[in-house]
Amino acid sequence: MSNDIRELNPREVWRHFSSLAGIPHASGHEEKIREFIADFAQRLGLDTTIDDAGNLIIRKPATPGMEDRRGVILQAHLDMVPQKNSGSQHDFLRDPIEPVIDGGWVRARGTTLGADNGMGVAAAMAVLESDSLRHGPLEALFTVEEESGMSGAMGLKPGLLRGEILMNLDSEDEGELFIGCAGGLDATMTFTYGEQAVPDGYTGFMIAVRGLRGGHSGMDISLGRGNANKIMNRVLQDGYLRHGLLLGSIEGGSLRNAIPRESMATAAVPASQADSFLEEFAVLAAAIKTELSIADPGLQIEAVPAALPGRVVEEEVFGRLLDALRACPDGVMRMSSLMAGLVETSSNLAIVKSGNGSIQVECLLRSSVDSAMEDLAAMMRSLFGLAGAAVVFDGGYPGWKPEPASPILKRMRDTYIGKFGTTPEVRAVHAGLECGIIGAAYPLLDMISFGPTIRYPHSPDEKVDMLSVGKFWDFLVETLAQVPGE
């Protein structure tokens, strides 16, 4: 089989996705891809606007005879999560993504693929380009920085959009229609420390946690995967309590909305304790690997001799940090009582990073229940406040309350049954879809989210099911033709 994804069906979607993969578009760096799509729309003679937040809005008139249909907004985000395997030299600001056909899936070589949300962007572009599809008045809303704080959606001003129905093309399970999502809140805890000289008679070590699957901190939080920051803290605390280990530096995780896959630390251990430290480290590492052997079979935990750190974190602050991270909530806090299998509240211990006299801990809190989010935030404030850290909450965004009586939901469910002969599942999702934010600015919108099947987003294992892309496209085309009138 050819490895050229442009030859896959539906070609009109894969052709655009291939073009998007060739343009660097890590979150926060969407300028090139936005310019590319704006030029594409202008060549088609379509009305094109970039708003004050950097979002791209493209309007396409109804096809003849469809002018009386309710206006539809096709919404997707331009950015992707930049994650790569250890040892990869990929530069997300310069290098193209390299899609690879692997059985019935498309993935990338050692990096995230960008199917989240490139498949949605590509499908919207295919609709805009087509001169044969039947549809009413259309708008395409391409937002920026969804993966790093949803600033595009947050900056969207009332009055810019004209449509009445919003179709978010950012879900990851074909055959499922999403009508609700969790809200989110960023928590940042900062420990300030003084550096101290390494005592005489110490030896240096490099400690590494690698090989975890990671994944989306909302969609994958219930899978029981390892968190590199939690694992690193576990081995560091054991070394500190048993052998007097001191911390030189630490860096774990890179994005709030990705379960951390790797953590690296430099440390110093009394030379007299070095052999026993390594022996007990190996025992603990083996136990942790056994615990995660099903969820994360590729986990590696290593401690190897290395250069002695020049300075170390003062011991008193290090001890408080270890206690706080050990107690820090991580993973599923509560399952929903309203929808079976749905996570209600969770926390992701996403980033632990030292430098310039401080250690910053970053978490992403999620919940579909406002009071539960407030309680989790209070828990974090109490815990890290007691540990002496400065605690800041920001970047909060609202959830999207499910509306089972949604008119577009009924129409799309009937359309799916008629097209494929099966009933789509109606769900809410434990992730921060932009629908919640957009709906706050446009409260009269009838909203729904759907997409092709994507697995392991936000990690280098990300892949998209080829057959599901065809079904997603066929369903979108049929839905647009069936949108009700005014």
pLDDT for the residue 82: 95
- Which amino acid is located at 226 in the chain? G
pLDDT tens digits for range 26-40: 999 999 999 999 999
Task: Please confirm whether the linkage preceding 82 is cis (ω < 30° from 0).
Answer: no
pLDDT tens digits for range 343-359: 999 999 999 999 999 99
pLDDT for the residue 4: 92
Collapsed DSSP state (helix, strand, coil) of residue 11: helix
Domain final residue, candidates 379, 397, 415 = 397
Instruction: Say if residues 268 and 308 touch (Cβ distance below 8 Å).
Output: yes
For residue 432, name the pLDDT band (cuts at 50, 70, 90).
confident
Query: What percent of the chain is predicted at pLDDT more than 90?
Result: 90
**Is residue 72 located within the same domain as residue 204?**
no
**Is residue 366 located within the same domain as residue 409?**
no
**Is residue 166 located within the same domain as residue 196?**
no
pLDDT for the residue 404: 87
CATH of the domain at 91: 3.40.630.10
pTM of the model: 0.75
**Is residue 123 located within the same domain as residue 193?**
no
**Is residue 14 located within the same domain as residue 163?**
yes
pLDDT for the residue 425: 95
pLDDT for the residue 2: 67
**Is residue 176 located within the same domain as residue 190?**
no
470 sits in the region (left: phi over 0; alpha: psi -120 to 50; else beta) called alpha
Backbone angles phi, psi at 469, to 5 degrees: -65, -40
Measured CA to CA, the distance from residue 155 to residue 52 in angstroms comes to 7
**Is residue 171 located within the same domain as residue 294?**
no
**Is residue 193 located within the same domain as residue 150?**
no
**Is residue 252 located within the same domain as residue 377?**
yes
H-only helix segments in 328-432: 370-386, 407-420
For residue 49, name the pLDDT band (cuts at 50, 70, 90).
very high
For residue 222, name the pLDDT band (cuts at 50, 70, 90).
very high
Domain final residue, candidates 377, 397, 417 = 397
Sign of the C-alpha dihedral computed for residues 333, 369, 166 and 427 taken in this order: positive
pLDDT for the residue 485: 87
H-only helix segments in 8-114: 11-21, 31-43
Of the two residues 180 and 135, the one the predictor is more confident about is 135
Which residues are CB-neighbours of 299 under 8 A, at least 6 positions away? Answer: 209, 210, 211, 212, 226, 231, 288, 289, 292
Which residue has 């790093």 as its token pair?
148
H-only helix segments in 44-78: none
pLDDT tens digits for range 237-262: 999 999 999 999 999 999 898 999 99
CATH of the domain at 289: 3.30.70.360
Instruction: Say if residues 306 and 320 touch (Cβ distance below 8 Å).
Output: no
465 is catalytic: no
Of the two residues 86 and 317, the one the predictor is more confident about is 317
146 is catalytic: yes
pLDDT exceeds cutoff 60 at 1? no
pLDDT for the residue 398: 87
Domain final residue, candidates 337, 370, 397 = 397
For residue 337, name the pLDDT band (cuts at 50, 70, 90).
confident
**Is residue 340 located within the same domain as residue 217?**
yes
Residue of 30, 139, 145, 146 marked active site: 146
pLDDT for the residue 338: 78
For residue 246, the enclosing domain spans 185-397
Q: What is the mean pLDDT of the chain?
A: 96
pLDDT exceeds cutoff 90 at 458? no
Number of folded domains that form the chain: 2
pLDDT for the residue 370: 87
Mean pLDDT in residue range 85-112: 95
Measured CA to CA in angstroms, residue 282 lies from 36, 293, 301, 309, 480 at distances of 51, 16, 8, 22, 58
**Is residue 152 located within the same domain as residue 278?**
no
**Is residue 236 located within the same domain as residue 359?**
yes
Residue of 30, 79, 296, 462 marked active site: 79
